[in-house]
Amino acid sequence: MDYYFGFARELLEKGLACEADPYGSHNLYDMIVQFSDDVDFYSSQAGQVGGKVLDLACGSGRILKHLVEEGIDVVGLDLSGEMLQLARKKLGDCADQVELVQGDMRSFSLPYRFNLIMIPYCSLIYMKSDEERLAVFERCYAHLNPGGRLIFDFLAGEVLEGESWPTLALQGIHPFTNEILLSVVQIKGLASDLRLLNQIDYRLGLNSEGTSQVTVQHSVEAVVRPHRIQRLLEQTGFVVKGIYTNHTLKKYDNGEECLIIAERPH
């Protein structure tokens, strides 16, 4: 598969940009992702179940920090070592209270079980087949105590095939380097349930030795219908307790976002 298209591809072909890891050491994730509407929901769920909590695909600790501050015993797991480093910095003095593990959600193995496993911010989009999703659910089931919950959201709509218009994801000034930052995203629908995302990041230096850098990155993301997710969960042994639009727990209405609460039976 050619992972770049449109202007991102042109920049690479002309040597005007270099490829970057979307979750590498120079990522702009924390500046682009300002979403926090689900934090109270996950904190409340963790408080209700009590005991140990696993934050799968914890990233830079967007939710993790809030759980720790509320005294919740939480473990964070992420595939990216760079994102875990950001999480440690974000946790600050609380970092010693959290175990951060680098691992794959399809194959992780930890020496204890949890009362709650959460996969927030639609991180399941990186599982591109039912086989991969099933592997995730099997690992979660194996790591939950009887009666423990698995809560996750995902993209449930239908992808329009072809190239969308580019959209501005970020414009601002870096708080530490004073660089001007621009991030532009474009999506190409590959199939009704699969899309290719290209992101172009412009970092324009302003200091006396300032240099400008243009990087491109890609990700392949999947959407899936809730009934398929429910079937995979039940195949694993879970009981689906609710299917909702999002963290507000409004009943799912066939929209582009979905949240599921499942339980490992006693």
Rounded Cα distance, 186 and 30, in Å:
19
Residue 29 has what pLDDT?
Answer: 67
Residue 21 has what pLDDT?
Answer: 86
Here the tokens at position 241 are 């307790």
Q: Residue by residue, what is the 3-state secondary structure of the chain?
A: CCCCCHHHHHHHHCCCCEECCCCCCCCCHHHHCCCCCCHHHHHHHHHHHCCCEEEECCCCCCCHHHHHHCCCCEEEEECCHHHHHHHHHHHHHHHHHCEEEECCCCCCCCCCCEEEEEECCCHHHHCCCHHHHHHHHHHHHHCEEEEEEEEEEEECCCCCCEECCCEEEEEEECCCCCCEEEEEEEEEEEECCEEEEEEEEEEECCCCCCCCEEEEEEEEEECCCHHHHHHHHHHHCCEEEEEECCCCCCECCCCCEEEEEEECCC
At which residue do the structure tokens 């694993």 appear? 236
Rounded Cα distance, 56 and 153, in Å:
12
1 lies in some domain: no
Query: Are residues 181 and 51 located together in one domain of the fold?
Result: no
Q: Which residues of the chain have pLDDT under 50?
A: none
Query: Are residues 54 and 150 located together in one domain of the fold?
Result: yes
Query: Are residues 107 and 190 located together in one domain of the fold?
Result: no
199 lies in some domain: yes
236 lies in some domain: yes
Q: What is the CATH number of the domain that holds 48?
A: 3.40.50.150
Q: For residues 106 and 123, is the Cβ–Cβ distance under 8 A?
A: no
Query: Are residues 242 and 151 located together in one domain of the fold?
Result: yes
Q: How many domains does the chain have?
A: 2
Residue 34 has what pLDDT?
Answer: 63
Query: Are residues 240 and 174 located together in one domain of the fold?
Result: no
pTM of the shown model:
0.92
Query: Are residues 51 and 24 located together in one domain of the fold?
Result: no
Query: Are residues 167 and 243 located together in one domain of the fold?
Result: no
246 lies in some domain: yes
Query: Are residues 118 and 179 located together in one domain of the fold?
Result: no
Query: Are residues 108 and 237 located together in one domain of the fold?
Result: yes
Query: Are residues 235 and 151 located together in one domain of the fold?
Result: yes
Rounded Cα distance, 8 and 192, in Å:
23
Sequence letter at residue 158: E
Rounded Cα distance, 43 and 53, in Å:
10
pLDDT tens by residue, 237-261: 999 999 999 999 999 999 999 999 9
Residue 32 has what pLDDT?
Answer: 64
165 lies in some domain: yes
179 lies in some domain: yes
Residue 96 has what pLDDT?
Answer: 85
Query: Are residues 232 and 144 located together in one domain of the fold?
Result: yes
The torsion region of residue 74 among left (phi > 0), alpha (psi -120 to 50) and beta comes to beta
233 lies in some domain: yes
Neighbouring CB atoms inside 10 A of 117's CB total: 28
Rounded Cα distance, 150 and 49, in Å:
11
Rounded Cα distance, 111 and 160, in Å:
43
Its sign, for the CA torsion 107, 108, 112, 113, is negative
pLDDT tens by residue, 27-38: 776 666 666 788
Residue numbers of the domain that contains 49: 36-156+225-263
Query: Are residues 137 and 243 located together in one domain of the fold?
Result: yes
